[in-house]
Structure 1
Amino acid sequence: MSNPHIWSTPRRLQPSISLLAAFEAVCRTGSTAAAARELSLTQGAVSRMVKTLEEQLEVTLFKRERKRLKPTDAAKAYAHDVRKALDLIARSTLGLRANPGGGTLSLAILPTFGTRWLAPRLPHFLAAHPGVTINLGTRLQRFDFAQSTFDAAIHFGDPDWPETEHVKLFDERMIACCAPDFHKRHPLDEARDLLTAPLLLLETRPRAWTSWFEAHGCGAQPARGMMFDQFATMIQAAIHGMGVALLPAFLASGEIEAGRLVPAYGEAISGVGAYYLIWPQSGAQHPPLRSFRAWLETETADLQ
């Protein structure tokens, strides 16, 4: 939904792009002469534009010292925000020119989720929405949408980001897996046998093994073993017989079907979080996001 207050904003708080571009260029380059060369304007024109902006905002942005303009601290902070806004406008314009029939969705993804679950399915979305372009970037931790270029993120954990909306994709279910040869060398007849087996741990799931042992009646056992920062590398370590990995069922299923891994012991259990699609409230009506959200809800309906 569009912001009903935008058009009631006083005109002086909506400076033209040309004035803002001149102001930002002076702050960044340090002089009206350098800004003029960059913008293909005269030095006098840049000086007048800066003066016009100050009059429009009714704020002094520069101190005049020996015919030089020195930005105030407030102007430096303002220039930082203006720079981001101008960059966003430029990127949006390039995206429109490159894809006038649709739109662009910039999506932050978890690396293994993106490569193992999302990537094989994306061609179906793109075929159904030929005008939409999706740009992917990896983020392991939560971030501030206001300080990024992302329209949405696929996140694991809790959907408690400020000023965002979300849709739950599915709960994580974890299964203990190992290589077939490893299973032959290390008989795992009961859950407690895993206490003496080499375990593979993930940095972002510090309590995963503890929860697994609790679920199998072993109490809150501390887990020790080799640590990984991504599931992808941990899966490869398990395939090469380096230990037992506790993997999300949706990632483990393909490896088990291919015979590269086998269940070490027991069935999949509930994990310690869920996967969510999260987006800033201000971008909820972005058409590519709305299309992607609807498609993603359909794709994960059987996993709820």
Structure 2
Amino acid sequence: MIRPLPPLPALRALEALDRLGSATAAAEEMHLTQSAVSRQLKTLEEQLGAEVFLRDRRALRLTPQAAGFARVVREALDRIAEGALALRLDPTGGALRLAILPSFGMHWLVPRLPRFARAHPEVTINMATRLKPFNFASEPFDAAIHFGTRRWPATDSLPLMEEAVQPLASPELVPHPLPPVALAELPLLHIQSRPRAWERWFEVQGLQPGRFDGTSFDQFPTIAQAATHGLGVALLPDFLSETERAEGRLVVASDRAPVCLGRYDLVWPVDRPVPPALALFRDWLSQEAVNA
């Protein structure tokens, strides 16, 4: 069934007027006259059978209902532009657009990617950093790496690995492993993406120290460097601290077992077909996660 759609120039005029706030600016952007923009909106009114703009001698203004429709149009135009760009850059469907978490990407994923490249040379993976969940409808990604215990809305997922952390410190600050009650007296370093990490760790040990102040960092490499220089004790996953521990610059600061604080997943949107490149990457990644 063919659905009647308003003409594209009229939709562009509506979106531009809503975004830019004036017919003059909309006309300049579209390389039209103001009267041409008005005619496009008039055409839209006639086709929709609804009032689109308010008659005002000083300015051309959208009705509240039309402004809401303009936001829908903007999202649709953005998706069309993204799809056209993706097709132009990747006409064979061999590219995967992946959002990654920087530390996980650098230390766990990237070292494994040469194996994927050898197995699937026809697929190119384009990666960019995103630290928080986002709306796949407004971001140009096919999939993303997610960490946490909460489900990313409107996505399916593939579990990759759990993040087990343990307290690490420089050997000058902590010469030998300490019990949790003694560890609570030392400076505690915090990672901003895990604001309750220390609280959760002490809860597992059966303690509530009542204080969790200390210097905070937004990246794991930075907090690891701070710990190696004796600034405090950091909760770090094993896969992010292998080099520092092997070289003796960081040592285990507690006599307790590592604690799991969350899981890394590959996530992708459920409202669109899975691209062939993503299907290949997902299948390969599931085997890597099993063998890790």
One fold, TM greater than 0.5? yes
TM-score by length of 2: 0.82
Which residues of structure 2 form unaligned runs of 5+? none
User: 5 Å matches for 1:193-204?
Assistant: 193-204=182-193
Q: Distance in 1 between matches of 2:113 and 2:216?
A: 30
- Residue 246 in structure 1 maps to residue 235 in structure 2: yes
Q: 1:174·1:269 contact (CA, 8 Å) conserved in 2? A: yes
User: 5 Å matches for 1:207-218?
Assistant: 207-216=196-205
Q: 2:154·2:269 contact (CA, 8 Å) conserved in 1? A: yes
Q: Distance in 2 between matches of 1:226 and 1:67?
A: 55
User: What corresponds to 1:21 in structure 2?
Assistant: 12
Q: Distance in 2 between matches of 1:48 and 1:274?
A: 55
Q: 1:175·1:252 contact (CA, 8 Å) conserved in 2? A: no
User: What corresponds to 1:219 in structure 2?
Assistant: 207
Q: Distance in 1 between matches of 2:28 and 2:192?
A: 50
Q: Distance in 2 between matches of 1:198 and 1:38?
A: 56
Give a deviation string over 1:60-85, Cα, whole Å, max 9, x none: 21123349632111222222232232
- Residue 112 in structure 1 maps to residue 103 in structure 2: yes
Give a deviation string over 1:190-222, Cα, whole Å, max 9, x none: 444323333222334344334434545x53444
User: What corresponds to 1:5 in structure 2?
Assistant: none
- Residue 38 in structure 1 maps to residue 29 in structure 2: yes
Which residues of structure 1 form unaligned runs of 5+? 1-7
Q: Distance in 2 between matches of 1:27 and 1:214?
A: 51
Equivalent in 77, 81, 97 of residue 90 of structure 1: 81
Q: 1:102·1:132 contact (CA, 8 Å) conserved in 2? A: no
Q: 2:191·2:217 contact (CA, 8 Å) conserved in 1? A: yes
Q: 2:177·2:252 contact (CA, 8 Å) conserved in 1? A: no
> Structure 1's 44 and 129: CA in aligned 2 closer, same or farther, altered over 3 A?
farther
TM-score by length of 1: 0.79
> Structure 1's 103 and 46: CA in aligned 2 closer, same or farther, altered over 3 A?
farther
Identity of counterpart residues, as a percentage? 44
Q: Which moved more, 1:90-99 or 1:44-53?
A: 44-53
Aligned-pair RMSD on alpha carbons? 3.1
Letter in 1 for 2:266: L
The alignment covers a number of residue pairs equal to 290
User: What corresponds to 1:134 in structure 2?
Assistant: 126
User: 5 Å matches for 1:1-304?
Assistant: 8=1, 11-12=3-4, 14-30=5-21, 34-41=25-32, 45-66=36-57, 69-126=60-117, 128-139=120-131, 141-184=132-175, 187-216=176-205, 219-224=207-212, 225-266=214-255, 268-303=257-292
Deviation at 1:236, TM superposition (A): 1.0
> Structure 1's 167 and 21: CA in aligned 2 closer, same or farther, altered over 3 A?
same
Q: Hey, which of these two has a bigger chunk of helix by percent?
A: 1
